[in-house]
Amino acid sequence: MSDEQIESMVRASNVHAPDWADVMLGEYGTLNKTGVDDLGRALVQAGFVVRRLHLLTSPVPLPPEPASRLDLSVLGIEGVELVAVPVAPGP
Protein backbone atom coordinates (compact mmCIF):
# COMPACT_ATOMS: atom_id res chain seq x y z
CA MET A 1 0.00 0.00 0.00
CA SER A 2 1.46 3.34 -1.01
CA ASP A 3 1.43 6.53 1.05
CA GLU A 4 -1.06 7.93 -1.46
CA GLN A 5 -3.41 4.99 -0.89
CA ILE A 6 -3.13 5.39 2.87
CA GLU A 7 -3.95 9.09 2.57
CA SER A 8 -6.94 8.32 0.38
CA MET A 9 -8.26 5.77 2.87
CA VAL A 10 -7.82 8.12 5.83
CA ARG A 11 -9.57 10.99 4.04
CA ALA A 12 -12.43 8.70 2.95
CA SER A 13 -13.03 7.44 6.50
CA ASN A 14 -15.99 8.77 8.44
CA VAL A 15 -14.71 7.61 11.83
CA HIS A 16 -13.48 11.10 12.80
CA ALA A 17 -14.21 14.66 11.73
CA PRO A 18 -12.63 15.51 8.33
CA ASP A 19 -10.07 17.92 9.83
CA TRP A 20 -8.77 15.07 12.01
CA ALA A 21 -7.43 13.44 8.82
CA ASP A 22 -4.82 16.21 8.51
CA VAL A 23 -3.66 15.53 12.07
CA MET A 24 -3.43 11.77 11.54
CA LEU A 25 -1.63 12.12 8.20
CA GLY A 26 0.82 14.60 9.71
CA GLU A 27 1.59 12.12 12.49
CA TYR A 28 1.93 9.29 9.98
CA GLY A 29 4.27 11.35 7.81
CA THR A 30 6.65 12.28 10.61
CA LEU A 31 6.37 9.92 13.57
CA ASN A 32 6.28 6.71 11.56
CA LYS A 33 9.55 7.56 9.85
CA THR A 34 11.72 7.20 12.96
CA GLY A 35 12.31 3.72 14.32
CA VAL A 36 13.67 2.78 17.71
CA ASP A 37 17.10 2.02 16.26
CA ASP A 38 17.16 5.39 14.47
CA LEU A 39 16.26 7.11 17.72
CA GLY A 40 19.00 5.23 19.59
CA ARG A 41 21.63 6.18 17.00
CA ALA A 42 20.53 9.82 17.09
CA LEU A 43 20.84 9.89 20.88
CA VAL A 44 24.35 8.39 20.75
CA GLN A 45 25.40 10.90 18.07
CA ALA A 46 24.06 13.71 20.28
CA GLY A 47 26.22 12.54 23.20
CA PHE A 48 23.72 10.51 25.20
CA VAL A 49 23.58 6.94 26.41
CA VAL A 50 20.31 5.07 26.91
CA ARG A 51 20.00 3.70 30.46
CA ARG A 52 16.46 2.30 30.32
CA LEU A 53 14.23 1.12 27.47
CA HIS A 54 10.58 0.06 27.46
CA LEU A 55 8.95 -0.81 24.14
CA LEU A 56 5.19 -0.25 24.01
CA THR A 57 3.40 -2.97 22.08
CA SER A 58 0.08 -4.72 21.64
CA PRO A 59 -1.21 -7.41 19.28
CA VAL A 60 -1.47 -6.23 15.67
CA PRO A 61 -3.53 -8.01 13.03
CA LEU A 62 -1.48 -8.00 9.84
CA PRO A 63 -3.10 -7.74 6.42
CA PRO A 64 -0.89 -9.19 3.66
CA GLU A 65 0.15 -5.94 1.95
CA PRO A 66 1.48 -3.79 4.83
CA ALA A 67 3.17 -6.80 6.41
CA SER A 68 5.10 -7.42 3.24
CA ARG A 69 6.36 -3.86 2.80
CA LEU A 70 7.06 -2.72 6.35
CA ASP A 71 9.43 -4.03 9.00
CA LEU A 72 7.63 -5.94 11.73
CA SER A 73 9.19 -3.64 14.32
CA VAL A 74 7.49 -0.68 12.61
CA LEU A 75 4.13 -2.44 12.70
CA GLY A 76 4.46 -3.92 16.18
CA ILE A 77 6.04 -1.17 18.26
CA GLU A 78 3.53 1.51 19.24
CA GLY A 79 5.99 3.66 21.08
CA VAL A 80 8.95 3.73 23.37
CA GLU A 81 9.72 5.02 26.82
CA LEU A 82 13.38 5.54 27.52
CA VAL A 83 15.78 7.27 29.81
CA ALA A 84 18.85 8.78 28.21
CA VAL A 85 21.58 10.68 30.01
CA PRO A 86 24.52 12.66 28.72
CA VAL A 87 27.74 10.72 28.45
CA ALA A 88 30.05 11.69 31.30
CA PRO A 89 33.13 13.55 30.07
CA GLY A 90 36.39 11.64 30.28
CA PRO A 91 39.17 12.49 32.75
- Reported as a pLDDT band with limits 50, 70 and 90, residue 40 is very high
pTM greater than 0.85: no
Beta strand 77-86 with 48-57 is antiparallel
The conformation of residue 17, written as its DSSP 8-state character, comes to: -
Q: Report the pLDDT averaged over residues 63-74.
A: 69
